[in-house]
Copies of this chain bind each other. A is one copy, B any other.
């Protein structure tokens, strides 16, 4: 899984308007009505991550969940990150 170049990253981010890039990581914060709703989302994320064999860093602050993705093996962002990000966004649709 090769590391993407900046043109490829830019193209990937255009399809993920809610995601922000910070160096070699892309992240998004989702807000829910309460902690229970946030935890339901986190469990859906966990299932999706296990299926993809790729795991975001997950941060939970009561009703807010932040997901961050990078591909450690590639030393940066890869297609796996963008594919998973799109899958995770579909969980809240």
Contacts of A60 in B (CB 8 A): 42, 57-60
Contacts of A55 in B (CB 8 A): 35, 62
Number of interface residues of A (CB under 8 A): 15
Contact check, B35 vs A46: say whether CB atoms are below 8 A apart. Answer: yes
Q: Write 20 A-B pairs (CB below 8 A) sorted by A numbering.
A: A35-B46, A35-B49, A35-B50, A35-B55, A36-B50, A39-B43, A39-B46, A42-B42, A42-B60, A43-B43, A55-B62, A57-B59, A57-B60, A57-B61, A58-B58, A58-B59, A58-B60, A59-B59, A59-B60, A60-B60
7 shortest interchain CB distances as A-B pairs: A58-B60, A39-B46, A59-B59, A57-B61, A55-B62, A35-B55, A35-B50
Q: How far is the CA of A61 from the CA of B60 in the complex (A)?
A: 12
